Chain A
Amino acid sequence: MAFNPAPTLNPSGNFTTTVDRYHVLSTGAPKQIPLQTAPDFIYLQNIGVPTTGSSWTSSAAGSVVKEAWWNSSYPNGYYWGTVNTPSAATDQKVFATTGGFSVFNTAVPIPYAPITGGTSITTANPAVATIANTFSAGQVVRIQNATGMEQLNGFLFTISAVTGAGFSLQYLNSSSFASAATSFSAQLVQIPVFSAIPFANYITAVASVGVTTVITLSVTHNFYVGGIVEVDIPIQYGMHGALSNQNGWQIIAVNAANNTITINANTSTATPFAFPTSTYALSSAYQGLPQVLPYGQVPPYQPGFAQSPQWYLQLGSAVAGTNGGYMEVICYASSNIVNA
């Protein structure tokens, strides 16, 4: 099939401009690309893996999407594409409603449906969840309807080591839990990032280290040294009360690898932090999840942590390319003229 040059654009649009153009290295998994603005039209060409050849061969090559289009009249997830016909040396056009392009703004998170059918979450460090999924590393999921580990219901976790059959809850050490989860659901979550100050986060561990306290957070955090945080731990977790402070706590260190913050609180005599039991999590006395909240910062002022709403393009599983391959993604916007 011949190379299809830049597509014909919306004929009703004038002042059409290319607003974003990306040369994307694919990991084979869904990927999010920051955009300058909301596009009206997207064109993607899957070039392929340099070492093994182009995706544009005429041989039978699975159902790889060779090129794909999307316009703003399509719902998120749709695409119109050229796809290799499975088990044949021909191509076909497809119009698909899943696995395609999604354009979203972080001010208005995309609602994702929960995925059911999770079969286990292990008692390990990190905890490993088994569930058929299309998630990718670094995304955030909400655990729902867990049995055996009811304590995890409602928690958000950044996930790692993702395969089609499961993922790790990167910052959760569940070794001390009484039992593994035997079923659960997982919902992909786009956390709100509009924040002039870091976003609130959940606590998975608290350790008293000398006269300081190290707090492990469940979602990759954006706190910073010098920032002030408020710690809110329900009574059933321990450490409740020891970390109440009307002035907040100053962060004196952060560890990106472990996703921890260290605060200048001496909790050496406090009841150690521990997740409540599953039974307690099901009781009417259960009061929810432990959290860390941004509270400000101390002088000197440290700039550069503000995040404004941002447009993103998500390449779904069908248009995510092949691992190690390159793709050209071109986004167009047009200023439509209102006419009769």
Chain B
Amino acid sequence: MTTNISNNPILINQSLWAAMLVTPTPSFIAKLAAEQTSIPENAGNQQLLVRPQQLPPAITAIPAGSLGPPPVILQRNIVSIDLALYGQSIWFDRRLLEQDQMPWLAVGTERLGIALRDGEDLLIYNALSSSAVQYACYQGAIIDTPTSISSPDINNLYSILQTANSPTTTRIIVGDLRFGTSPVISSYWMLCNTRMTATLQAVTNFQFSAQYPDPAQSQGPNEYGTIPGFRIWISSNCPISSQASKLSQDVYSSFCGGGNPYAEVTLDANSTRLIYRDDSYSGPLGLQVSLGSTMFFGCGITQPTWIINVQSVANYFNIF
């Protein structure tokens, strides 16, 4: 067979540019208010967190000639959190690594790391969902059980946390002479689902983080705004109970609270570990390499009266 140049197909030159396709990644905000603790290596798999109990107020007047003040008993409560090991791995064909333009090991490392943090985020939500007190919004504009979130609900939540002597977590942002801004009071934190943004905007006195007198004081790109008393962060990972309202609408779990009412526990230096094994481990031909990631992780609520699982419905119409 002879080859004639004019009969050759058009030459196809392929080039990869990985950045052309961005992999969507949720915002991992669940650990925002977590107390970070760790267990040293070879020191067991359970973290005990200790809380001394409140004593009765010292309101007893000590009469003259008394032998001494009335005795009280000091006790403590313990919250225990167990560690578990999580992880996953990828096997690569060596030919792929050595022939393909895609930087597979780098991509795999990135995806494993993100998947680990994604898992951590979901596990925290799960732990909070299982143990935090539920508050069903009941004064919102969308009539259902629960209703949508509303200003009276927000005010009530603020009072509940204040009454539980929960500390606010963000400080006052004082007013400034900038149009469209207003001062922000010291606030509790609230984690909401991204599907709630339209409903949040409709709540009385909602204020975008860009409308803070000093927008630089917003805490990261995921801080959406504030409703007086609460600074709001949003993530698509925040839990949704499908069709769980009285009228079978999706119910959103927003977590709010003050201080660090839950704790995340890891094993010292093992919150993330990347494990690479080269091809010499895979057999006589050395055909595969493996890449894995692990984390030791545990989570639990430590102050049940300082965190609330706020149940609400929202205006959202999904096209995907």
How far apart sit A278 and B110, CA to CA, in the bound complex (Å)? 54
How far apart sit A339 and B247, CA to CA, in the bound complex (Å)? 48
How far apart sit A36 and B153, CA to CA, in the bound complex (Å)? 43
B126:A309 contact, CB within 8 angstroms: yes
Does B248 make an interface contact (CB < 8 A)? yes
CB distance from A252 to the nearest CB of B (A): 15
Binds B, one of A48-56, A130-138, A281-289: A281-289
Chain A neighbourhood of B300, CB < 8 A = 195-197
Chain A neighbourhood of B96, CB < 8 A = 338-340
Binds B, one of A20-28, A94-102, A294-302, A319-327: A294-302
Which A residue's beta carbon lies closest to that of B82?
A306
Chain A neighbourhood of B299, CB < 8 A = 194, 196
CB distance from B58 to the nearest CB of A (A): 16
Interface bits A290-314 vs B (CB < 8 Å: 1, else 0): 0101111111010101101100000
Interface bits B41-59 vs A (CB < 8 Å: 1, else 0): 0000010100101100000
How far apart sit A296 and B303, CA to CA, in the bound complex (Å)? 9
Does A200 make an interface contact (CB < 8 A)? yes
Chain B neighbourhood of A232, CB < 8 A = 133
A-B residue pairs in contact (CB < 8 Å), sample of 13: A192-B126, A195-B127, A246-B54, A247-B54, A284-B138, A288-B146, A293-B132, A303-B80, A309-B84, A335-B89, A338-B90, A340-B93, A340-B95
From known contacts A154-B145, A187-B244, A338-B104, infer whether A293 and B133 are also in contact, taking CB-CB under 8 Å. Answer: yes
CB distance from A290 to the nearest CB of B (A): 11
Does A14 make an interface contact (CB < 8 A)? yes
Identify which of A228, A309, A337 contacts B92 (C-beta below 8 A).
A337
A340:B100 contact, CB within 8 angstroms: yes
CB distance from A90 to the nearest CB of B (A): 40
From known contacts A111-B241, A339-B96, infer whether A298 and B134 are also in contact, taking CB-CB under 8 Å. Answer: no
Interface bits B66-85 vs A (CB < 8 Å: 1, else 0): 00000000011111111010
How far apart sit A153 and B241, CA to CA, in the bound complex (Å)? 15
Which A residue's beta carbon lies closest to that of B247?
A145
Interface bits A153-167 vs B (CB < 8 Å: 1, else 0): 110000000000000
Report the contact-size class of chain A (Cβ under 8 Å from the partner). 35 or more
Report the contact-size class of chain B (Cβ under 8 Å from the partner). 35 or more
Q: Which chain A residues have a beta carbon within 8 Å of chain B's beta carbons?
A: 14-15, 106-108, 111-114, 142, 144-145, 153-154, 185, 187, 189, 191-200, 228, 230, 232, 246-248, 284, 286-289, 291, 293-299, 301, 303, 305-306, 308-309, 335-340
B93:A194 contact, CB within 8 angstroms: no
Closest 6 CB pairs between A and B?
A111-B242, A306-B82, A196-B300, A296-B77, A192-B130, A339-B93
Chain B neighbourhood of A340, CB < 8 A = 93, 95-96, 99-100
From known contacts A288-B138, A301-B78, infer whether A15 and B91 are also in contact, taking CB-CB under 8 Å. Answer: yes
A196:B136 contact, CB within 8 angstroms: no
Q: Which chain B residues have a beta carbon within 8 Å of chain A's beta carbons?
A: 46, 48, 51, 53-54, 75-82, 84, 89-93, 95-96, 99-100, 104, 108, 119, 122-123, 126-127, 129-136, 138-139, 145-146, 241-248, 288, 298-302, 304-305
Chain A neighbourhood of B99, CB < 8 A = 340
Chain A neighbourhood of B90, CB < 8 A = 338
Chain A neighbourhood of B139, CB < 8 A = 284
How far apart sit A89 and B90, CA to CA, in the bound complex (Å)? 47
CB distance from B10 to the nearest CB of A (A): 23
| Majority SS at the chain B contact face | mixed
| Majority SS at the chain A contact face | loop
Chain A neighbourhood of B133, CB < 8 A = 200, 230, 232, 291, 293
B243:A187 contact, CB within 8 angstroms: yes
Which B residue's beta carbon lies closest to that of A245?
B54
B136:A288 contact, CB within 8 angstroms: yes
B298:A196 contact, CB within 8 angstroms: yes
From known contacts A113-B243, A196-B298, A294-B301, infer whether A338 and B93 are also in contact, taking CB-CB under 8 Å. Answer: yes
Chain A neighbourhood of B51, CB < 8 A = 296
B92:A114 contact, CB within 8 angstroms: no
From known contacts A114-B248, A247-B77, infer whether A191 and B130 are also in contact, taking CB-CB under 8 Å. Answer: yes
How far apart sit A220 and B247, CA to CA, in the bound complex (Å)? 26
Which B residue's beta carbon lies closest to that of A197?
B300
How far apart sit A306 and B80, CA to CA, in the bound complex (Å)? 8
B80:A297 contact, CB within 8 angstroms: yes
Chain B neighbourhood of A301, CB < 8 A = 48, 78, 80
A108:B91 contact, CB within 8 angstroms: no
How far apart sit A232 and B132, CA to CA, in the bound complex (Å)? 11
A154:B138 contact, CB within 8 angstroms: no
Q: Other than the known A189-B244, A196-B299, A293-B131, what 12 A-B pairs have Cβ atoms closer than 8 Å? A: A14-B288, A15-B91, A106-B126, A145-B246, A154-B145, A154-B246, A187-B248, A195-B130, A232-B133, A294-B131, A338-B90, A340-B99
Which A residue's beta carbon lies closest to that of B305?
A230
Chain A neighbourhood of B131, CB < 8 A = 195, 197-200, 293-294
CB distance from B224 to the nearest CB of A (A): 24
How far apart sit A189 and B132, CA to CA, in the bound complex (Å)? 17
Which A residue's beta carbon lies closest to that of B75?
A298
Chain B neighbourhood of A339, CB < 8 A = 92-93, 95-96
A153:B301 contact, CB within 8 angstroms: no
Chain B neighbourhood of A247, CB < 8 A = 53-54, 75, 77
Identify which of B78, B245, B247 contacts A299 (C-beta below 8 A).
B78
CB distance from A334 to the nearest CB of B (A): 10
Identify which of A196, A284, A335 contacts B80 (C-beta below 8 A).
A196
From known contacts A196-B300, A296-B79, infer whether A337 and B246 are also in contact, taking CB-CB under 8 Å. Answer: no
